Amino acid sequence: MDGNGRWAKKRLLPRLAGHRAGADALDRVMHYCRDAGVEYLTVYAFSTENWKRSTEEVSGLMRLLSSYIHDKEKELVANGVRFRVIGRRSDLSGKLQAEIHALEEATAAGTFTLVVALSYGGRDEIIRAAARYKGGGEEEFAKCLDTAGIPDPDLLIRTSGELRISNFLLWQAAYAEFYFTDVLWPDFDREEFDKALSAYSKRERRMGARPGEGK
């Protein structure tokens, strides 16, 4: 969800106002996903690197997450959204961990899954999974990742003109299609979403194979 800071700066607003606009954009994008039949949406809300930002921004983001969880519970349950967090939860405050756990329990029956990456880094996730892994190959390894039970992403969208993966879903994105746009996350609207889906639908997904050849 890149570009919140720049969106705020353009409007002479504090960075946190950009993150608040980013949370509103997330609500909208969830609606677009559901209308399009997408069943899983994963958003990168806070990376293992984001702890290095100013204390003001970090604590503001943590407060924003906490109030999002608090304010949205009824709406998420009513809309059948299953909430799930990936990342190093033990980095978060005990209060936020408990709020996350409660929301995961309350929304467990949802049919649309919103995965929020918090204190998340792909390499960190892989190291933690490796410590749990007892052998058995890729499928067994995937069960040791934070995303166990969640399908790999088909499409990975990065907003605000950055052309990097930045430690996001390193294992899971092995065959994902990438879509980059200059649009800042808070401005990511239905038209932009439709453009991304349309670009995706035109891609030929071979997953390493050649159609019509081999097994």
Q: Which of 50, 79, 91, 187 is catalytic?
A: 50
What is the closest distance, in whole angstroms, from the C-beta atom of residue 189 to ligand FPP in the complex?
15
Closest by CA to 19, choosing from 6, 32, 28, is: 6
What does the alpha-carbon distance between residue 8 and residue 14 come to, in Å, rounded to a whole number? Answer: 6
Applying the rule CB under 6 A, the residues between 109 and 168 that interact with ligand FPP are 116, 160
3-class SS shares of the chain: helix, strand, coil, % to 5? 50, 15, 35
2 among known catalytic residues: yes
Q: Among residues 116 and 129, whose Cβ is nearest to ligand FPP?
A: 116
Asked if 6 is part of the footprint of ligand FPP (rule: CB under 6 A), the reply reads yes
1 lines the binding site for ligand FPP (CB under 6 A):
yes
- Let me know the angle formed at the C-alpha of 49 by 188 and 176, rounded to the nearest 5 degrees: 50
Provide the Cα torsion 165, 44, 76, 126; round to 10°: 80
- The H or E element spanning position 208 is none
Q: Which of 22, 121, 122, 153 binds ligand FPP (CB under 6 A)?
A: 22
Catalytic residue among 2, 4, 124, 146: 2
The CA distance from 168 to 149, in Å, is 18
Respond yes or no: is residue 194 known to be catalytic: no
In DSSP terms, 120 is beta-bridged to: 47
The window from 16-24, 82-90, 95-103, 133-141 that contacts ligand FPP (CB under 6 A) reads: 16-24
What token pair was written down for 143?
Answer: 């069960």
What residues numbered 29-68 form the site for ligand FPP, per CB under 6 A? Answer: 45, 50, 61, 64-65, 68
> Which residues of the shown chain bind ligand FPP in the complex (CB under 6 A)?
1-6, 19, 22-23, 26, 45, 50, 61, 64-65, 68, 116, 160
Q: Which residues are known to be catalytic?
A: 2, 50
